[in-house]
Chains A and B, each alone.
Chain A
Amino acid sequence: MRTAKLKVFVAVLCVLGIVLAMSGCGPKRPEVVKIGVYAPITGPAAADGLAATNAAQLAADKINEAGGINGTRVEILTYDDRFESASAVAVAHQAIERDGVVALVSGSYSTPTRAVAPIAQEAGIPHVAGYAVHPDVTAAGNYNFRNSFVGTVQGKAGAWVAINQMNAQKVCILMVDTDFGRILGETFQAECEAAGVQVLSADTYPYGEKDFSALMTKIKGLNPDLLYATGYYAEGAAIALAAKTAGLTCKVLGMEGMDSPMFLELGGEATEGWVITSNLNRDDASPVTQEFIEEYETQFGIQADMVAASTYDAVLIVCEAMRLGGFEPAAIRDAIAGLQNFQGATGLIQGFTAGGEVIKPVQVQIVEGGEFHYYAVVDDPAIITPPN
């Protein structure tokens, strides 16, 4: 009898021990969760790399200050892709295999991001691109998402603004010879032609071009009432200066590549009155946007731009998905795919399409007094819903 009692006692102890042990690691709640953020920290796009990594850290700090994700602290690991595919591939493997990140955020351009997308897909790690626009990024599979507008959405939105807000009748188009610049310019052109707006010229220029005097003289001779220009901030500023030098007086519509304080600094007064399509509305009343803009400027001493806001939101999206779905990569993916009406710094993210493309309004900003301000917003579902 004594031995039987002892056996029962030991058995109870064992069960108790197991239960206690299980409750200890309990409903799986890790102390720290790692998100990998890669960006062009060195190389020709280093300014964007810095903006992206700063913004990602700011997003994580904000979440951690508020107690983390259900008590779990977010750690951002940053990687330098040097604006190259090869380096991007290397750091993606490093992040996933060595450092054990549960999600990847791209704070980089299309070229590095489209190289990482298939790696994330194969490893089953959710991958959210902040502002890379190439279709291949999301085409790599269902673990890939994009928090910026595909080229066609922004091109369509640009045409809508040109026609309905800026009353363009005769337009000239100037596009940077990259996927990004061409898709926007060509979509803009097709939309204008479909709407009966006369397209007087459509020229391309190589990335990094500095001298626009010949093109501006040509455009001035055509006498358009609107110039649509695609490019990045350095080219955008050079276009603005050359347009002023040539005496071009028509309205100018740019795009998110020019959404940078550098555009305003390098282009100076010549950028005054420029309208751009972007995804950051500086005058958005939402506290998420206002707090982001304020904290970013206080902490880093430079104005927030499209790159910073987009990367910030990409991190927020991953964290929100973790809050909803837990910390397993597959669960995070499902939660991102199911996300609805999430308020980010770049406005209300309505959700993602089956193809991983974000659905949210396109913001239109105007340069006034050397700053970007609200000009319009494009929220027509027919324009802002991505094709897949």
Chain B
Amino acid sequence: MVIQQIANGLVLGSLYALVALGLTIVYGVLRVLHVAHAGVFVLGAYAGLLVYVSSGSIVLCLAVAMLVCGFAGFLMYRFLYRPVLGRPALIPLIVSIGTFMFLEDLYRLVMGPYIKALPLKLSLPGLDLPFLRLTGQQLFIVGVTALLLLALWWLMKGTRLGLAWRASAQDMETAGAHGINTDVIVGLCFVIGSAIAAVAGIMVGSYYNQVYPSMGSVPAYKALAVIVLGGLGSVPGTVVAGLALGLAETLTMVWVGTILPREAIAFLVLILMLLVKPTGLLGRAS
């Protein structure tokens, strides 16, 4: 049973990591707390839902949702963040929170207040051992997270784009002076990060079989806790932190009981990290 609970925690943690991964890339290069990332996550879930219902194809559903969200991410950067980039860090943060609230209500108006089902039909084999039982869908979630982690790692460490990303993250002005088009790099980060959010939205929506306008409100702050815990802008750190949070929530629920709601755990982690590292969140402003 302990092994099963650890597996449960890892599946949940993979979902957290998926939501936070895109956010890390944006935070790493721009030092902006992109709360509206959770709004892109919901957009991904709805786009995936619409495509899946009309086509029945999982590949098409993922591809279209990633395209739609990638484009939405680009638009957000171009028209919302870029105009306020030179300002104090609070201003992009307020822009971001406002955008997120706007998006939530937009989804409610367009798609209705109801919870919609997203029953992806995955014909993947599951695992059924005496001590461990995982469905094909759970394995798929862990697999996709691992795959995205590896792909991003390669992108960051093994390509010129990654080099430019790291240079811009360290010092945007110096990177610009060395001939890197930082505007394009940041825009690309938004596109890639938002496309990953689309995958996260579809995974979360289909795992719980529920897609609804406010499904981003918990991930909005939980993803923040994950990227703070993961070391702000570190891709492997985010995945480790996501898995750790999933495990912590699951194991507390089993051993301590449900006295402490799971949402409180993410908050506790966030508060502890802020106490230990108070300059962490608003980064360069200080």
Contacts and interface: CB of A to CB of B under 8 A. Distances in A.
Interface string A199-213: 000011110011101
B183 interface: no
A214 B114 CA distance: 27
Interface in B259-280: 261-263
Contacts of A265: 117
Contacts of B12: 211, 213
A276 to B, nearest CB: 18
A42 interface: yes
Interface in B132-177: 133, 135, 138
A47 B209 contact: no
A43 B114 CA distance: 10
A238 B117 contact: no
Given A206-B263, A210-B210, A218-B254, A246 B113 contact: no
Nearest to A46: B113
A82 B231 CA distance: 40
| Most chain A CB within a 10 A radius of its CB, from B12, B113, B214, B263 | B113
B209 A266 contact: yes
Contacts of A213: 8, 11-12, 250
B83 interface: no
| Most chain A CB within a 10 A radius of its CB, from B114, B249, B258 | B258
Contacts of A237: 209-210
A67 interface: no
B209 A241 contact: yes
Interface in B34-80: none
B210 A266 contact: yes
Nearest to B119: A268
A91 interface: no
B85 interface: no
Q: Is the interface of A mostly helix, strand, loop or mixed?
A: helix
Nearest to A43: B113
Nearest to B113: A46
A234 B115 contact: yes
B250 A246 contact: no
A63 interface: no
A221 interface: yes
Contacts, number: 75
A343 B56 CA distance: 46
Nearest to B263: A206
B133 A246 contact: yes
A206 B138 CA distance: 23
A262 B114 CA distance: 9
Contacts of A209: 262
A309 B204 CA distance: 33
A46 B114 contact: yes
A262 B210 CA distance: 10
A100 interface: no
Interface residues on A, range: 20 to 34
Nearest to A268: B119
Contacts of B133: 245-247
B253 interface: yes
Given A46-B113, A262-B115, A268-B117, A203 B257 contact: yes
Interface in A163-187: 177
A210 B119 CA distance: 15
B36 to A, nearest CB: 21
A44 interface: yes
Nearest to B246: A211
Given A213-B12, A237-B210, A268-B209, A245 B114 contact: no
A268 B210 CA distance: 12
A217 B119 contact: no
A217 B208 contact: no
B5 interface: yes
Contact of A214 (B113, B117, B254): B254
Given A214-B5, A215-B253, A217-B1, A241 B115 contact: no
Interface in A229-262: 234, 237-238, 241, 245-247, 262
A237 to B, nearest CB: 7
B224 to A, nearest CB: 19
A42 B114 contact: no
B9 interface: yes
A245 B137 CA distance: 10
Interface of B: 1, 4-5, 8-9, 11-12, 113-115, 117, 119, 128, 133, 135, 138, 208-210, 214, 249-251, 253-254, 257-258, 261-263
16 contacts: A42-B113, A46-B113, A203-B257, A206-B261, A206-B263, A213-B12, A213-B250, A214-B5, A215-B258, A217-B4, A218-B5, A234-B210, A237-B210, A246-B133, A262-B115, A266-B115
